[in-house]
């Protein structure tokens, strides 16, 4: 029982220090080994090198290409002006009357096309400032509008999204990024429509209360943020079709490759046995890697005149991927240490005993761990690493399609991950020059509360056999 208490203490400290800004790369091994000590063992070095580091390295081996190519793709789309061109065109078409929808849609198209949410925030923010100012909508609603379009339905629920959160369940369940399309679309609609309705209600309420747009809203923005706000947004940024072509390619190629090429029926993939894998396990990952790689090359080719130093841009994207993959891998290493403890069998039994329905156990475990770690990808990786095999067996027992497990896991990771200590939330508020006090309530509504409603709906519908 003391071992279980040690796990709980370790998790609480992880959440507390992550909120305080301590790097998870430092935090996770220390707290993992603390749980080992509290569990009654002093085998710290073997646990660190043979469990924590091996788990970290295996995660890097599996997902680094996606992190790397995703970061390079985002950097190329940003540096070419393509991301801003897409956002600017949508804003012009919809106009100031639909400022909130324009911002949400711009972010959604970019993130659904594989552009990272950090790039999206910087690309869309100046356009959002211009639209919100003209419409008289309070600036404090900008972070929630960007959050809704960037790290809710396009990150977790929409079938085919190339974001890493949609790639993580594939090796566990033998699925691809298009898993459970009907369930994903329904959940996406709940998040998108519900989120937009909430933000428009809040905007209308603020306007009726004569709350005008204020550039700083009581918060002194950094000089870098001031520069972004003053940046002109109506400049010519190039052809919209050329700008959006790489995004369309990611989606189309990913679909074709995952459904018709990297599948068992396309050719004899039997020689993969010598690599100790199957096409079911790696096909979805291969499709995403090839799609991102081709789209990067097309973006570089169609915008070559805009790049003074293309190698420098690629290098910056590659370097930016390292922190992202290490943060998530560190969380996975931590989770594997915890799951290796004898006391975790009690925890695992409690989670799996919550309900005979594996979707309920999966939803609760992924949501809780994403909230504790402050990371959607980290929380889901820990949960599936510890429970994935058991959940798949239960799903097969109760006749639940593995695709549903995939989609419920991705939707679940996008709820409590957006608690105040989440890195994306902190960065977004910094970009907008606002505080948690000013803007977090609306971020919470669109990226925590409404996604949890979508998760509940997905579990119910998935249990009814909807795929």
pLDDT tens, residue by residue, 333-387: 998 899 899 998 888 888 888 888 999 999 999 999 998 888 899 899 999 998 9
Cβ atoms within 10 Å, residue 291: 26
* pTM higher than 0.85: yes
**Contact of 276 with 199, CB cutoff 8 Å:** no
**Distance separating alpha carbons of residues 22 and 251, to the nearest angstrom:** 36
Helix residue ranges, H only, 39-166: 44-47, 53-79, 82-94, 99-112, 117-135, 142-150, 153-156
d(CA 456, CA 446): 15
- Tell me the residue range of the domain where 312 lies: 1-227+235-464
What pLDDT, on the 0 to 100 scale, is given for residue 236? Answer: 53
Could you report the per-residue pLDDT of 235-270, keeping only the tens digit for each?
A: 555 789 999 999 999 999 999 999 999 998 888 887
The segments of the chain whose pLDDT lies below 70 read 1, 212, 214-237
Which structure tokens are listed for 138? 């309070």
Region of 107 please: left (phi>0), alpha (psi -120 to 50) or beta. alpha
Count up the domains in the chain and report the number: 1
Whole-number Å distance between alpha carbons of 137 and 217: 12
């Amino acid at each position: 029982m003391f071992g279980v208490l040690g796990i709980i203490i370790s998790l609480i400290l992880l959440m507390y220090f992550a909120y305080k800004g301590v790097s998870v790369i430092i935090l996770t091994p220390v707290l993992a080994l603390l749980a080992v000590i509290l569990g009654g063992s002093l085998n710290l070095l073997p646990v660190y090198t043979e469990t924590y580091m091996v788990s970290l390295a295996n995660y890097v081996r599996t997902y680094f290409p996606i992190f790397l190519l995703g970061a390079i793709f985002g950097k190329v789309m940003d540096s070419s002006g393509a991301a801003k061109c897409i956002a600017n065109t949508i804003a012009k078409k919809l106009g100031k009357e639909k400022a909130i929808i324009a911002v949400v849609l711009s972010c959604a198209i970019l993130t659904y096309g594989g552009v990272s949410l950090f790039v999206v925030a910087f690309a869309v923010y100046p356009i959002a400032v211009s639209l919100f100012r003209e419409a008289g909508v309070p600036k404090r609603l900008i972070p929630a509008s960007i959050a809704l379009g960037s790290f809710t339905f396009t990150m977790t629920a929409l079938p085919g999204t190339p974001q890493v959160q949609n790639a993580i369940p594939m090796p566990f369940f033998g699925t691809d990024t298009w898993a459970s399309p009907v369930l994903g679309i329904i959940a996406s609609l709940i998040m998108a429509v519900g989120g937009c309705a909430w933000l428009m209600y809040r905007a209308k309420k603020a306007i009726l209360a004569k709350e005008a747009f204020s550039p700083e809203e009581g918060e002194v923005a950094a000089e870098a943020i001031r520069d972004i706000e003053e940046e002109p947004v109506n400049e010519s940024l190039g052809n919209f079709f050329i700008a959006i072509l790489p995004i369309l390619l990611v989606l189309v190629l990913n679909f074709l490759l995952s459904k018709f090429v990297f599948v068992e029926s396309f050719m004899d993939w039997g020689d993969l046995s010598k690599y100790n894998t199957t096409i079911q396990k790696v096909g979805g990952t291969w499709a995403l890697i090839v799609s991102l790689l081709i789209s990067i090359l097309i973006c570089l080719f169609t915008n070559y005149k805009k790049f003074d130093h293309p190698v420098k841009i690629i290098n910056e994207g590659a370097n930016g991927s390292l922190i992202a993959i290490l943060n998530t891998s560190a969380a996975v290493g931590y989770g594997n240490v915890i799951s290796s403890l004898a006391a975790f069998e009690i925890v695992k039994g409690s989670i799996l005993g919550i309900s005979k329905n594996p979707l309920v156990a999966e939803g609760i475990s992924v949501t809780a761990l994403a909230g504790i770690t402050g990371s959607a990808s980290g929380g889901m990786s820990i949960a599936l690493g510890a429970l994935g095999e058991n959940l798949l067996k239960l799903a097969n027992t109760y006749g639940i399609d593995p695709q549903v497990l995939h989609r419920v896991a991705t939707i679940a990771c996008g709820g409590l991950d957006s608690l105040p200590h989440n890195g994306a939330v902190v960065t977004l508020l910094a970009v907008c020059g606002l505080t948690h006090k000013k803007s977090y309530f609306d971020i919470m509504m669109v990226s925590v509360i409404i996604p949890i409603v979508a998760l509940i709906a997905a579990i119910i519908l998935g249990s009814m056999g909807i795929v």
